[in-house]
Amino acid sequence: MEDIDTKCTAIRAQITATESQLAALKEELEAAERLRGASAPTSSKHSERKWPLSAEEYQRYGRQMIVSQIGLPGQLKLRSASVLLVGAGGLGCPAALYLAGAGVGTVGMVDGDTVEASNLHRQVLHRTKNVGKYKVDSAIEYLEELNPHPKYCAHREHLSPQNAPGIFQNYDIILDCTDNPATRYLISDTAVLLGKPLVTASALRTDGQLMVLNNPPKPPGDLSGGPCYRCVFPKPPPADTVVSCADGGILGPVVGTMGVLQALETIKVLVKSVDQSSDDRPSLHIFSAYSNPPFRTIRLRGRRTNCAVCSSEPTITLSTLQSGSTDYVQFCGSARFPQVLSKDERVSVREFEPIYDSKKYSLIDVRDPVQFGICNLENSINIPITQILQDRTFDNKDPKETLRSLLPPELTSTDSTDPIYFVCRMGNDSQLAVQKLRQLGFDQDGRRFIGDIRGGLKAWKAEVDPEWPEY
């Protein structure tokens, strides 16, 4: 019975993909017929000539239409196309900006977040006055001023397995503009099951990646279709290795570059004609702002025969998706930081405040030097967590001796029992530092207190010093 259900689901997905292809062919036929009607001789010199675009549209898109790969047929395809951007942040803003400017007929945006001041250096559709407003509303407000012709659709919600199919089905192509693995797998799975091409990108610090997936969008089991996200990354990265922009940082033009490239690849997919020669082999494009050259490309393999979603025997279907049996958070793992210290090994910022004024202690800040340079507590010592946790150095020194060389003499002296406190941004890395020093015996068999400040500098700002810089 289960095999029959799986087969029925696969057939439904194939029907959906075929209907999508049929709709695209009908639109192309309509565009060609409009062109034929426009070029046919009129029966009377006084008859009005019917043009497929308005006079304002010819002026607006003229520089774009004279590009040989676009032309009038390509512009008509863009006008009849519908594009969905999942995410209205650093990637979604520049992508939406150029797609709306290019004249895409329908632009939808999915995002349940609101605009924050920390977004404004890179999320170029949002403005200071819109802080606190839904990102999709803020973005569409800007886009409508840029180009009033497209239809804009705001989906003020976070994407989930339950709502994704219903949202995706009304669009021709999907753009993944998100920043977490669980949502990336969800977007890719839904795009494959509904027969939608997917343009996905990511950016962190000074680097970015871009791929066009499920292109062409063949049904599961058809190996001529483009690979999906699971084909490229069958297993998600370990949860503790995933770094967000908030933790790792991001340079605005880097994420902007990737978003613009997403818009470009989307336009290429939408306007491509049957006789237009181009290299559609799947590729991973890698951008690094500080490399020379900054771009490189890696060819990708086709669909995996054992892929969980696009193989001939998929384990992920629309029914498993919407039923909730596919748990993406569990698949990608929890990013919650483990509590490695006991209650007695930690102090709150309120408890540390009078100690801080006494100065009878040592305080080690384990953030990287760049963050330490932005702001730091008085008399604190900067030793990055990467140096504390290293097990060996290039000269094969003992780990304890290596760490001893990093610490001031008063911290390593066996005569001193002054407490040592560790602090970081959130109160996570500081726990690891305490654990490491205790393992190496720097607590002198319990005679010296070594602990961390719970909640880190974020808690310090919230409970002690409201003027502390938040970055």
Do 60 and 192 lie in a common domain?
yes
Look-up of token digits 């604190």: 380
> Is the pLDDT reported for residue 401 higher than 80?
no
Calculate mean pLDDT across residues 303-325.
93
Query: Given pLDDT bands bounded at 50, 70 and 90, which one contains residue 341?
Result: very high
Q: Is 375 annotated as a binding residue?
A: no
Give the C-alpha distances (Å, rounded to integers) separating 238 from 151, 181, 296, 330, 334.
Answer: 40, 10, 25, 12, 9
Do 160 and 202 lie in a common domain?
yes
Amino acid at 141: E
Domain boundary residue, one of 332, 351, 369:
332
Helices (H) and strands (E) in the chain, counts: 19, 13
Q: Is 5 inside any structural domain?
A: no
What is the domain range of residue 401?
343-464
Do 268 and 417 lie in a common domain?
no
Between 139 and 280, the more confident residue is: 139
Q: Is 127 annotated as a binding residue?
A: no
pLDDT value of residue 303:
97
Element (H, E) at 203: strand 198-204
Q: Is 180 annotated as a binding residue?
A: yes
Calculate mean pLDDT across residues 171-179.
97
Q: Is 97 inside any structural domain?
A: yes
pLDDT value of residue 324:
85
Do 124 and 265 lie in a common domain?
yes
Angle at 287 between CA 284 and CA 289, to 5 degrees: 175
> Is the pLDDT reported for residue 236 higher than 80?
yes
Do 85 and 187 lie in a common domain?
yes
Element (H, E) at 284: strand 283-288
Q: Is 49 inside any structural domain?
A: no
Amino acid at 429: D
Name beta bridge partners: 84.
Answer: 108, 174
Element (H, E) at 369: helix 369-374
pLDDT value of residue 425:
94
Q: Is 211 inside any structural domain?
A: yes
Please give the Cα distance from 1 to 241 (Å, whole number): 41
Q: Is 307 annotated as a binding residue?
A: yes
* Structural domains counted in the chain: 2
Please give the Cα distance from 357 to 361 (Å, whole number): 10
Rounded to two decimals, what is the model's pTM? 0.79
**Are residues 207 and 246 in contact, defined by beta-carbon separation less than 8 angstroms?**
no
Residue 428: give its domain's CATH number: 3.40.250.10
Q: Is 120 annotated as a binding residue?
A: yes
Name beta bridge partners: 107.
Answer: 83, 152
Element (H, E) at 255: helix 252-271
Q: Is 332 annotated as a binding residue?
A: no
Q: Is 119 annotated as a binding residue?
A: yes
pLDDT value of residue 40:
45
Q: Is 342 annotated as a binding residue?
A: no
Task: At 170, list the tokens.
Answer: 């009304």
Q: Is 50 inside any structural domain?
A: no
Do 319 and 406 lie in a common domain?
no
Q: What is the mean pLDDT of the chain?
A: 88
Do 217 and 74 lie in a common domain?
yes
Between 228 and 442, the more confident residue is: 228
Q: Is 293 inside any structural domain?
A: yes
DSSP track, 3-20? HHHHHHHHHHHHHHHHHH
pLDDT value of residue 337:
64
Domain boundary residue, one of 287, 304, 332:
332
Task: At 377, list the tokens.
Answer: 């507590």
> Is the pLDDT reported for residue 372 higher than 50?
yes
Strand pairing category for 362-365 and 381-382 = parallel
pLDDT value of residue 20:
62
> Is the pLDDT reported for residue 23 higher than 80?
no
Do 131 and 161 lie in a common domain?
yes
pLDDT value of residue 42:
44
> Is the pLDDT reported for residue 326 higher than 60?
yes
pLDDT value of residue 394:
44
pLDDT value of residue 345:
94
Based on the number of CB atoms within 10 Å of its own CB, is 136 exposed (0-12), middle (13-18) or buried (19 or more)?
buried
pLDDT value of residue 52:
94
Calculate mean pLDDT across residues 375-395.
82
Angle at 230 between CA 335 and CA 93, to 5 degrees: 70
pLDDT value of residue 38:
46
Do 347 and 328 lie in a common domain?
no
Residue 136: give its domain's CATH number: 3.40.50.720
User: Could you tell me which of 82, 78, 28 has the C-alpha nearest to residue 53?
Assistant: 78
Query: Given pLDDT bands bounded at 50, 70 and 90, which one contains residue 248?
Result: confident
Do 292 and 216 lie in a common domain?
yes
Based on the number of CB atoms within 10 Å of its own CB, is 28 exposed (0-12), middle (13-18) or buried (19 or more)?
middle
Cβ neighbours around 222 below 10 Å, total? 15
Amino acid at 456: G
**Are residues 175 and 168 in contact, defined by beta-carbon separation less than 8 angstroms?**
no
pLDDT value of residue 446:
86
Name beta bridge partners: 454.
Answer: none
Express each pLDDT in 405-429 by its tens digit.
878 777 777 777 889 999 999 999 9
DSSP track, 18-76? HHHHHHHHHHHHHHHHHHHHHHSPPSSTTSPPPPSS-HHHHHHHHHHHTSTTTHHHHHH
Q: How many CA atoms lie within 13 A of 164 on its CB side?
A: 30
Q: Is 8 annotated as a binding residue?
A: no
Catalytic residue list: 245, 424
Do 241 and 354 lie in a common domain?
no
pLDDT value of residue 11:
74
**Are residues 114 and 103 in contact, defined by beta-carbon separation less than 8 angstroms?**
no
Please give the Cα distance from 439 to 362 (Å, whole number): 19
Do 308 and 357 lie in a common domain?
no
SS3 state of residue 94: helix
pLDDT value of residue 278:
54
Q: Is 368 annotated as a binding residue?
A: no
